[in-house]
Amino acid sequence: MTETAIVSISISGSTITRASGNFTTDGFIVGDLIRIIGSSNNTGTYTVSEVGTTTMVVTQALITEGAFSGAVVNYVLFNTSSIASTSHVPQTTGMSYHVFLDFGARSDDDLGTQSPITNRIGLLAESFNVSTTKSRPTFAIPGTALVTGESKTLSIDLAAATKTFTMSGIITEQLMVRKYPTGGRLDENNPLAASGEYPGKDGSEVSRVFTAQEIAQLLHSALDSSFLQPYQNITNMAVLIPSRVGYDYNYHTGVDENTPVEYLPLIPYSFKARYQDNLRAVTLDNSQYFAPSHSSSIVSHPVVIQSITTDFVPGQPWLTFSINGEFIFDVMGSVKDVFGEDSWI
């Protein structure tokens, strides 16, 4: 994935200017689709028309912005190969993980467009296990063996199941991108509010590289919080899996039965059904769960995390983790989950 490092960026007209580095050597070319990470006002997808050393021109009109800390990234479809190429690179703004935990604030419409990694924690999961248990009680029918010589059992389908998960892996340094509402709640009881000395006050994204130990602290702090702390509490999880077949049972664009798995597009793991498989049920549009994930859309699923374990080793720059939880229907979060719209960028 083509991207810049975190640099000072300014925008005027249709021109993006960086204070350091080189767009050309970073690999940007005319025709690229890009996004601007860290921008307060220019949050869409733009087409590159000119590429220079420190300047880039797009075909769309942009809103002028003074210098801010951010990055320019390609708008691309993610696959296992592209993720592997950026894994263990803490400064990257690209996609480096298959698993994401979403803070509650990620679904806050007041924050506007967010980057793929904003208000999320990425996890290098080495194993991910899902267990689905059907709630279907059975009853032995008394006396049936007297007549047929064979006892019979009755089953009642309650149309319910319990869906749990466990995962383990490692935590390394990671670029955390946070976005907060402009003023308002952030100013309440904030000793720095009067001077305006804290990042994010103007609604721009805040990018900082956290140590593995700091990421672990965020995870434990999240589990110790509640829904009343949306910037601390974790509510959703996105798990990306390789996919050949789309919502309509056609292969994804550019994919066939011979496409190597590492180059297949990634879709979010879910319990949704493709269109033809759900014809007898209430008609719901689950297409976003089968659409390839890209730099502007990664769907997540409501979860409850029940336990987090991390192993700290003095002097070691990384640590191991294990997480247990359950996929849920988010009553607190939304009725919109009923209609297949859990959470997406």
Please tell me the predicted confidence (pLDDT) of residue 339.
43
pLDDT digits (tens, 9 = 90+) for 100-134: 999 998 877 666 666 777 889 989 888 999 999 99
Whether the CB-CB separation of 345 and 113 falls below 8 Å is answered with yes
- Residue 110 DSSP SS3: helix
| DSSP assigned state of 265 | B
Least confident interval from 31-40, 169-178, 181-190, 257-266: 181-190
The dihedral region occupied by 273, where left means phi > 0, alpha psi between -120 and 50, and beta the remainder, is beta
Place of tokens 């550019």: 254
CB distance 37 to 115 below 8 Å: yes
Higher pLDDT, 303 or 336: 303
Highest mean pLDDT among 74-83, 274-283, 303-312: 303-312
Residue 111 phi, psi (nearest 5): -85, -10
Task: List pLDDT tens digits, range 255-273.
Answer: 788 888 887 888 999 999 8
**Tens digit of each residue's pLDDT (9 = 90 or more) over 22-42:** 998 888 888 877 878 778 888
Query: How would CATH label the architecture of 1-75?
Result: Beta Barrel (2.40)
Domain segments of the chain: what residues? 1-75, 76-345
pTM of the model: 0.70
Q: What confidence category does residue 84 fall into, taking pLDDT thresholds of 50, 70 and 90?
A: low
Are 301 and 238 within 8 A, CB to CB?
yes
